[in-house]
Amino acid sequence: MKERLHPVMLAGTGSDVGKSILATALCRIFRQDGYNPAPFKAQNMALNSFATPEGLEIGRAQAVQAEAAGIPCHTDMNPLLLKPQSDHSSQVVLNGRPIGNRDAYDYFRKEGRAELREAVYAAYDRLATRFNPIVMEGAGSLAEINLRDSDLVNVPMAMHAGADILLVGDIDRGGIFASVYGSIMLLRPEERKYVKGILINKFRGDLRLFEEGRRMLEDLCGIPVLGVVPYYHDIHIEEEDSVALAAKSAAAQRGKINVAVVLLRHISNFTDFNALERDPRVHLFYSNNVDEIAKADIVILPGSKSTLDDLYELRRNGAAQAILRARREGASVLGICGGYQMMGVQIRDPQHVEGDIEAMPGLGLLPMITEMLGEKVTRQVRFTPADGTGDPMEGYEIHMGRTLPAEGGPFRPLNRLEDGQEDGCLADEKCMGTYIHGILDNPAFIDRLLAPHSASITEAAEAFDYHAFKEEQYDRLAAHVRKYVDMPRLYDILQGKR
């Protein structure tokens, strides 16, 4: 039996320094080394979420880390999820279920934090009885001293768990000495002793040029630098942040099927398109530019955290008209979740679930009417095409609306769920919508979507096995981190030897 290790927390000098990726790597490494690891992030803020096998909601990053660890995801891995709805408010999801919307000012006040702290501590404690080690992830900077008393996710969480903290700094953004030293010095003395190592991430160039800098950091901080991890370009792990989506080239490519994912302001679950993006038959890009949408063979309307607001914006910026024109000229249109709702004839929100708009006409591509409801549907599903052909496929649902056929309109469901319920709507093989996230992770559905445009493909290409691809990427990430992080020294720390 493997010896028990201390829990380890990846905490950052700031946001986007690579904590999630390094946590994913450690989950894989510990699994490879015979341990039974699990990820944990007390509080996550993201629009990318996932449904657990129990039908509850967690941040997508922890679902990815669980996959790297080889275990099913669970709400105890991310007990508190904030899903931004505007610049000032978020939906609060506690233990997988929404408990309401909160203004940021109200949320971060001290009042009411004790109950949330008790809930995230309890989730960690349950997880720690079943797995070892727990790979914890902080949020933002561990030294946000103005939020110290209300912090649920960084040093107080590490102190509750008795975790060894690894401080992650991003050298690519500059200021690595100030950010690492300053972060440590802003901690209270009793907090500082939990920081056991420093990881420098996203290094570019010759590592030998930073050897002196490494020694200087160790002398300044009195803490070992356990690794300097180079930037990589050829390892692909699902991302949590949508910032980079618009940079993916919209230039149409000959010999491939060009797929445009409409870039919504409140896009959610954009990981739906990772498998399609890697398919050798496809060139996929994100855009709300009317001319770029016109270049596409297939237009996909993705999920949205604010469907009515995004639909209004599509009408305002002309993208809605471009989608309708693309459909008339032979492009396929697929809507997923919020995108499916937009494709109907109307969206109604009489209870003001999303905001002040009570109703808005949809794009009219599908004979469906959606009514927003306060109760969220979250579940994993198995399904087959509604016509009964093909093998079972898998996906998950996360939505707050109910979509039904408009009175008197022709209606064909797209899918039939394992429990007999119908999902989605099929106008024809070039126009369809579904509530199922992850539907494009199924090769059979991708083949169906691409089939009307197969003449555009100039070279034969096999269907893409996304599951095998992801497993390979986790192994490659683990190998990359092993190469540049002193794992024997880290194991000594986690065994209490240093």
Exposed, middle or buried: residue 437 (CB in 10 Å: 0-12, 13-18, 19+)? buried
* Active site positions, annotated: 337, 437
List C-alpha distances in Å: 78 to 85, 105, 240, 242, 305: 19, 22, 14, 20, 19
Return all residues near 247 (Cβ < 8 A) that are at least 6 apart: none
* CA atoms of 213 and 421, how far apart (whole Å): 61
* CA atoms of 179 and 423, how far apart (whole Å): 50
Are 15 and 182 in contact, with CB atoms under 8 Å apart?
Answer: no
* CA atoms of 21 and 119, how far apart (whole Å): 26
Are 305 and 81 in contact, with CB atoms under 8 Å apart?
Answer: no
List C-alpha distances in Å: 63 to 57, 330, 375, 456: 10, 37, 23, 35
* Long-range Cβ contact pairs of 382-390 (< 8 A, separation 24 or more): 382/417, 382/418, 383/415, 383/416, 383/417, 383/418, 383/423, 383/436, 384/415, 384/416, 385/414, 385/415, 385/416, 385/448, 386/412, 386/413, 386/414, 386/415, 386/416, 386/422, 386/426, 388/416, 390/444
* CA atoms of 490 and 166, how far apart (whole Å): 10
- The DSSP code sequence of 211-258 is HHHHHHHHHHHSS-EEEEEEP-SS-----S--TTGGGS-----TTSEE
Nearest Cα to Cα of residue 286 among 242, 221, 351: 242
